[in-house]
Structures are given as structure tokens and as C-alpha cells.
Structure 1
Amino acid sequence: MADKEKKKKKKVAKDDAPADAPAAEPAPERTSRGSRKAKRTGSNVFSMFSQKQVAEFKEAFQLMDHDKDGIINKNDLRATFDSLGRLASDKELDDMVSEAPGPINFTQLLTLFANRMSGGSDDDDVVINAFKSFDDEGKIDSEKLRHALMTWGDKFSSDEVDDAFDQMVIDDKGYIDTAKLITMLTASAEEEEEEAAA
């Protein structure tokens, strides 16, 4: 009976605690090393991109995944390059596939993009590499570029492509000089940066 009275007194004492007294906080979880365990937040590779960017990457992934198995492999890359009219060597394809530590599913592809973006890649390098992917012996087929601009990513309208092409030098066979195009695009970006700084 004495035990019941002690428990009752403890309960009453607990209820009588002043309202402004701080509530007892549970002790933080500790890992085996004794350090505090951080609460897990929703940070992942998807949070590095806007919803629009993720949707665009998803669309690109689906276009590249020719066999629709959810994994981009060497054959998928070969088919993608073939559809763009560019032949890729086995070494190039192997190098691309080996950049990932495992099979390239959509999340892995986003991780590769995120790593590239956080690697301090210069915007000019991105422009140069983008247009070099269309380059064939110093020239870019304007119709293939038109198709790409109107099909993938932030899709251009026909009028927008025409306006862009008005700024480019296109020869009578429909080819754009790659070096001149890259110079024009990177020089205008530098001029914009200089104007913004002034």
C-alpha cells in the first residue's frame, strides 16, 4: 500500500509542476560513436533541380532509353547518337556508361548531371560541348540543329529557331560553321556579364 501512495505522490508532484517550467526534452538519438544523429531531411538529388528541370530530364531519359527497360546502357546511347545522325565509337560509349558507379537509371542520371553542375563547369564549356555534339568536321547541319531545338528541353518554336538562325552564318548547303557559332554565343555571354558588372 505504501508503494501505491508513493506513486500517487509522484504523479501529483508531476502534475503540480509550474506551467512555465520547460518541458523535459527527449535525449537526442546517439549513434554507436556517441555523436548526435542528425534528423533526416528530404535532401536528395531531386531537390537540386526545379520541377520543370526534372520533367525535362525525365523526358530526355525516356527518349534515350530506347529499349524502355528503365536503364540507359551502351546500346541505348548508340541508338540515341544514331538518331541524331552522329556515329559514336565504342570507346566513347564505354566512357559514358562507365561515368556512373552502377546502372544508369533516372536517379543515377540526375546524380551525374548534379555532379557535373556542381563540379564548377563553366557555362561557356557547357555551350561549347553542346554544340560540339552536333559538330561534324567543323560544321553543324542546320536541319538537325533545328530538329533538336524544337524537340528537346526548352522547345523552341519555328519562329524562335528562325530568329536564332538569322544571327548565324549558314552556308548554301545548310551548314553552320561551328567555331564561328561558338565564338558568337560565348562572346555575347561575356558582353552581357561585363554590362551587368558595369
Structure 2
Amino acid sequence: MEHPEYTLSRDDLEDINEAFALCDPERTGRISPEDLGTVMSALGQNHTESEIYRYSEGLDEMGNGFITLKDFVDLMTKMYKLMDQTDYLKAAFNTFDIDKDGLISYSELRATFYSLGDRMTDEEYDKLFRQFDTDNDGFIDWHDFYNAYKS
């Protein structure tokens, strides 16, 4: 499933620029790869050293020893988009997880669809449940739900 282009809000873009400026006080539009963790932490992004290293390598593809503001904004846009999608999916999952035990049972799936006005046959519910229950344990957990969405 293809997602529409994600656009940062004005506030998010402002926050990203301010965080970048912490390590770019002269406003050159670039920082060293070693500063990436500091800038990301200022935005509430907590990553391991190995993750920061991978990000910095991807952003300094030319090997010129710096990360541009544009490249950093692109990275953060991707991260914000991912966070936004995950929040949306978790909200959807929680709608189906009526008893809030972290699992969606067959009856919860059916009750939720029924409450939304969707009337399906038993066979259609069975098929839908099997598509989401990717590990065939009789419940749809977050992992199943996420994987079914991604497929």
C-alpha cells in the first residue's frame, strides 16, 4: 500500500531547524556526523550509537565529513512519517482490542466490525481473521496486525 507524501508541520520544521542550529551556531547549513546524536536528542529522538552511526553514514554519502540541513530535514521527515503511521495503526489496533489485553480475538474483530455497521458472512469473517492472524495462534497481536498492514 503506497502512502501519500508526508509533509512536516510548520512547528515540526521549526523545531528541526532549532535543534540543528544547536550544533550549527554559525548557520553554515551543515554539522559534523558526530553531532547527529545531539541534534536528534534535542528533538526527543533517542537512538543507540550504532543507529546514529548508520544514519550519519547514510547522510554523509559523499564522504565530505558533514551532514547538510536539507539531508537532516529529509531524515526527520521520514522518521516523523513513520511515527505518525505507527500511532495511527496503534489507534486502529486498540479500537479492535476491546478488552485491552493486547490481543484481538475473533469475537472482538467481529463485534467491532458489527458496531461499525459492517455486515459480513461467517466465511468472510473467517477469511479476514486468518489473513490477520499471521502466526495462527487464534489471536491477532500487534505483530500480526502490523505485518498484515504491511503486506
- Coarse TM-score class (shorter-chain normalised): 0.3 to 0.5
Point out which structure has higher relative CO (alpha carbons under 8 A, 6+ apart): 2
Give the alignment's TM-score, normalised by structure 1. Answer: 0.32
